[in-house]
Amino acid sequence: MANRLTPLVAGNWKMNGLRADLAQVAAIRDAVAAGAVAGAEILVCPPATLLAAAAQLCAGTPVAIGGQDCSPDAYGAHTGDISAEMLKDAGASYVIVGHSERRIDHGESDARVAAKAAAALRAGLKVILCVGETEAERTAGQAEARVAAQLEQSLPPEQAAAGRLAVAYEPVWAIGTGVTPSPRDVVAMHGFLRQRLKTLLTDGEVVRLLYGGSVKPGNAAELLRSPDVNGALVGGASLKAAEFLAIAKAVSQH
């Protein structure tokens, strides 16, 4: 990669996974420990019910475990919420914030996403901040404007956090649909995001940019070949160790 950033391949299990599925985590752990994936950081974000067990399975190995969301608050009367401190205590080292499914299903604003990112940094977690446009916004020629606004308004206030921050571009219209943007579209948006990050953050060049949106073993190499694509946020394909590892290998080769 031209900018020499270690690629990050993150699996987002979403609302999937029972205890039996920890076997997939173990398979990923064993393959990475055996050197099957070289030159990339590997992260699995299981549902909260499996996070502590997954962290225990991967303790002392190169595979990191992360949460899928966190509360902006450290503790308190917030039934059903999980704080960043709780994730950290359970063994997480990362958390995803601002995923389009959170923004849409739960009405999360950019300001709330920024507060969650700040809470994660406060707790000592690394952050994957998601941004992305809808199909209607892209068709209307508003993709860059929408993504820029989300990025600027969702960034945590800690300007020194660039080394603990990754940004995932996830075109909403490509998530779970099987439809993917062209490699040219991905290159263009990631190049745009890189320039915006350099403007917004002193160390914007060290923020890893991940692509997310129907990433599969068959399209990973083509989608992720740009120097401004520093890894992938993988959804459904991360549920099976073999598929996830195939994507990780494709990423690490670029």
Task: Answer with the residue of higher pLDDT: 70 or 224.
Answer: 70
CB atoms within 10 A of CB 125: 23
Structural domain that includes position 134 = 8-252
176 marked ligand binding residue = yes
Question: How far apart are alpha carbons 63 and 208 in whole angstroms?
Answer: 18
- pLDDT one-digit tens code per residue, 163-212: 899 999 999 988 777 777 888 999 999 999 999 999 999 889 999 999 99
Q: Quick check: is 1 in a domain?
A: no
Q: Quick check: is 135 in a domain?
A: yes
* 170 has catalytic annotation: yes
31: CATH: 3.20.20.70
Q: Quick check: is 158 in a domain?
A: yes
* 99 has catalytic annotation: yes
Q: Quick check: is 240 in a domain?
A: yes
CA dihedral 16, 30, 209, 65 (to 10 degrees): 50
Per the residue annotation, which of 85, 101, 108, 170 is the catalytic one? 170
| Domains identified in the chain, total number | 1
12 marked ligand binding residue = yes
Q: What is the pTM of this model?
A: 0.95
Q: Quick check: is 3 in a domain?
A: no
Question: How far apart are alpha carbons 172 and 104 in whole angstroms?
Answer: 10
pLDDT of residue 182: 87
235 marked ligand binding residue = yes
Question: How far apart are alpha carbons 40 and 110 in whole angstroms?
Answer: 30
pLDDT band, residue 1 (cuts 50/70/90):
very low
What integer best gives the mean pLDDT of the chain?
Answer: 93
CB atoms within 10 A of CB 182: 10
Per the residue annotation, which of 41, 99, 133, 137 is the catalytic one? 99
Q: Quick check: is 228 in a domain?
A: yes
Which two three-digit tokens encode residue 141? Answer: 């020629």
Q: Quick check: is 2 in a domain?
A: no
Q: Quick check: is 56 in a domain?
A: yes
What percent of the chain is modeled with pLDDT above 70? 97
